[in-house]
């Protein structure tokens, strides 16, 4: 039988892992263009092209002991998928491991954060081109456009970096920060959940996302954010909204795989 795709080809058993990858290929509340259900496996396939060693952080990610659980079954109701994700993230954390959730749409941050909050007060650092702070969108309270609003209701502190698309009232929110000063808004006493919507990057670097927005951050900005984050305890992360069908070159998937590798190298290897 052919082996299923896994990040960096890992076949490490769950009991031996420190970092655990879980795919949640959710694509149900898309409001413009879709394709993010293909994101987790596109990232896994693209990881074949990157080295295990991060020269920026002088770490081999294999030292993080990565296991990949594959994807949750997406052919169910949104409620069932999100409930299973929450249970899986809770299990991973309870076992003393680091959960990494691959989306799918940004909605997957909500159950991940809900699970992490069961272990104590938490704060979220989100890298995102959009505020995602609407109370509801198209009649939905739980969707990609409300993801950070729902997350903020669960945590002690939310900081958003890279936002450049707003619906109006959200512009006055105090949670927005730049890549150079975001750490001043994070509380040193609280653990962090890192939420990475790939559209935070400039679309010239990563065009294969569902809602590209001009004027984004670049690779040195991202690496600088990871360096600053090393001062904090990061419990886990999600990486979402890769839509490979919008980038036939495959560069966006490689960018996503490299972003995940650098995050693991910086924070947990």
Q: Give residue-wise pLDDT tens across range 158-215.
A: 999 999 999 888 888 899 999 999 999 999 999 999 999 999 999 999 999 999 999 9
Do the domain assignments include residue 123? yes
Residue 30 confidence class, pLDDT cut points 50, 70, 90? confident
User: Is residue 235 included in any domain, yes or no?
Assistant: yes
136 within some domain: yes
Q: Which tens digit of pLDDT belongs to each residue from 162-175?
A: 999 998 888 888 99
| Structural domain includes residue 160 | yes
- The secondary structure of the chain, three-state, reads CCCCCCHHHCCCCHHHCCEEEEEECCCCCCCCCCCHHHHHHHHHHHHHHCCCEECCCCEEHHHHCEEEEEECCCCCCHHHHHHHHHHHHHHHHHCCCEEEEEECCHHHHHHHHHHHHCCCCCEEEEECCECCCCCCECCECCCCCCHHHHHHCCCCEEEEECCCECCCHHHHCCCEECCCCHHHHCCCCCCEEEEEEHHHECCCCCCCECCCCCCCECHHHHHHHHHHHCCCCEEEEEEECECHHHCCCCHHHHHHHHHHHHHHHHHCC
Q: CB neighbours (10 Å) of residue 13?
A: 8
Residue 29 pLDDT: 82
Neighbours of 228 (CB within 10 A): 18
Residue 116, in any domain of the structure: yes
Which residues have CB under 8 Å from 79's CB, separation 6+?
A: none
Per-residue pLDDT band for 1 (boundaries 50, 70, 90) equals very low
Measure the CA–CA gap between 181 and 16, rounded to whole angstroms. 37
The predicted model gives 147-156 an average pLDDT of: 95
Which residue has tokens 């935070």?
Answer: 200
* Cβ neighbours of 227 (radius 10 Å): 13
Express each pLDDT in 94-116 by its tens digit: 999 999 999 999 999 999 999 99
* Phi, psi (rounded to 5 degrees) for 246: -95, 5
Q: Could you list the residue range(s) of the whole structural domain that residue 153 is in?
A: 7-267
Percent of the chain at pLDDT > 70 equals 99
Query: Mean pLDDT score of the chain, rounded to an integer?
Result: 94
* Nearest residue to 242 (alpha-carbon basis) of 74, 63, 113, 103: 103
Asked if residue 1 is part of any domain, the answer here is no
Q: Is residue 3 very low, low, confident or very high in pLDDT (cuts 50, 70, 90)?
A: low
Q: Is residue 61 part of a domain?
A: yes
137 band by pLDDT with thresholds 50, 70 and 90:
confident
What span, in angstroms and rounded, lies between the C-alpha atoms of 69 and 77? 21
2 located within any domain: no
What CATH number corresponds to the domain at position 171? 3.40.800.10
Total count of domains within the chain = 1
């Amino acid at each position: 039988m052919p082996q299923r795709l896994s990040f960096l080809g890992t076949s490490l058993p769950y009991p031996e892992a420190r970092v655990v990858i879980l795919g949640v290929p959710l694509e149900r509340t898309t409001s413009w263009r879709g394709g993010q259900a293909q994101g987790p496996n596109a990232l896994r396939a693209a990881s074949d092209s990157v080295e295990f060693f991060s020269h920026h952080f002088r770490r081999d990610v294999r030292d993080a002991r990565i296991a990949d659980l594959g994807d949750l079954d997406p052919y169910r109701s949104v409620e069932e998928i999100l409930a299973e994700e929450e249970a899986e993230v809770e299990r991973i954390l309870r076992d003393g491991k680091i959960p990494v959730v691959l989306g799918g749409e940004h909605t997957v941050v909500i159950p991940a954060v809900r699970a992490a909050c069961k272990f104590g007060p938490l704060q979220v650092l989100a890298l995102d081109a959009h505020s995602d702070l609407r109370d509801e969108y198209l009649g939905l309270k739980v969707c990609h456009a409300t993801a950070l609003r729902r997350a903020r209701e669960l945590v002690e502190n939310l900081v958003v970096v890279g936002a450049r698309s707003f619906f109006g009232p959200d512009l006055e929110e105090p949670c927005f920060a730049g890549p150079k000063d975001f750490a001043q808004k994070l509380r040193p006493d609280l653990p962090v959940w890192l939420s990475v919507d790939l559209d935070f990057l400039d679309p010239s670097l990563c065009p294969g996302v569902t809602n590209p927005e001009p004027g984004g951050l670049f690779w040195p900005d991202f690496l600088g954010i990871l360096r600053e984050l090393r001062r904090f305890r990061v419990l886990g992360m999600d990486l979402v909204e890769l839509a490979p069908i919008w980038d036939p070159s495959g560069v966006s998937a490689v960018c996503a795989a490299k972003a995940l590798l650098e995050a693991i190298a910086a924070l947990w290897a």
